[in-house]
Amino acid sequence: METSEFGFTVSVDGCFPYNPLDHNLESFAAAHTAAGNFLASNPNHKCVELFRLDYVNGRLVDDAVYDYDALDQVVTSA
């Protein structure tokens, strides 16, 4: 079974990025909305990156990172 999870990471002062969510989300749109809400309520954070994790039978098979400001443009893929 193939599934995907979405979320976002933030970093502060060059520190390692972290995911402020308690759990990942089921859609890219939900992750984008959550990231926008996070930025609006945390003005000290200036940058977020959205991510997608793809699983097959519970095993991570692919991931991608998207720039928050360029919704349809893939910045990196691993």
Residue whose entry in the numeric block shows the structure tokens 């991608």:
64
Tens of pLDDT, residue by residue, the chain (78 residues): 899 999 998 877 767 778 888 889 999 889 989 988 888 898 877 778 899 999 999 999 998 888 776 544 433 343
| Residues 6 or more apart whose Cβ sits within 8 Å of residue 5 | 24, 25, 26, 52, 53, 55
User: pTM for the complete prediction?
Assistant: 0.74
